Amino acid sequence: MSSTPSSIGLILLSHGSKDPVWRRNAEHLLAQVQQAQPAAAVACAYLDWCDPPLGHAVAQLLQSHPQLTQITIWPLLFGVGKHASEDIPALVEELAPLHPEVQLRIAPAMGEDARVIGLLAAMAGGYLEGA
């Protein structure tokens, strides 16, 4: 692992909920990424009900990691519905002019990744075997 700060940051973008316990999984994922890559510029953000919203998370990452030239926004959504196809691109389009020093990139939604589907299929197989 390089000790030089990366120029790429990551925002784990979740839906959000009024229930504060709902944040637990996203924050657990964040903690695991930070543990594996302590120098990484990574944060959580939420679409609804929870703080910080995406705009604040982008600003906070840029403040704490001024070397960033790209921030990848990874929607932690199982499928591509209105949030992934319309809402998130619209948010990024609004944010881009506010942060011309950085490229804001939207990764495919979590559930669109074949690795995630493969992991879930393996887990389903375990449940079918009584695990």
How does pLDDT run across 13-50, given as a tens digit for each residue?
999 888 888 889 999 999 999 999 999 999 999 999 99
86, 53 Cβ separation under 8 angstroms = no
Burial class (CB in 10 A: 0-12, 13-18, 19+), 5: middle
Asked if residue 76 is part of any domain, the answer here is yes
Asked if residue 2 is part of any domain, the answer here is no
- Number of DSSP helices (H) and strands (E) in the chain, helices first: 5, 4
Q: Where in the sequence is the domain holding 12, given as residue range(s)?
A: 8-128
How does pLDDT run across 84-128, given as a tens digit for each residue?
888 999 999 999 999 999 999 999 999 999 999 999 999 999 999
Asked if residue 1 is part of any domain, the answer here is no
Chain CA centroid to CA 98, Å = 20
What pLDDT score was predicted for residue 20?
83
State how far the Cα of 50 lies from the Cα of 61, in Å rounded to an integer: 17
Number of domains in the chain: 1
How does pLDDT run across 69-94, given as a tens digit for each residue?
999 999 999 988 787 888 999 999 99
CATH of the domain at 15: 3.40.50.1400
Better pLDDT: 109 or 1:
109
Asked if residue 57 is part of any domain, the answer here is yes
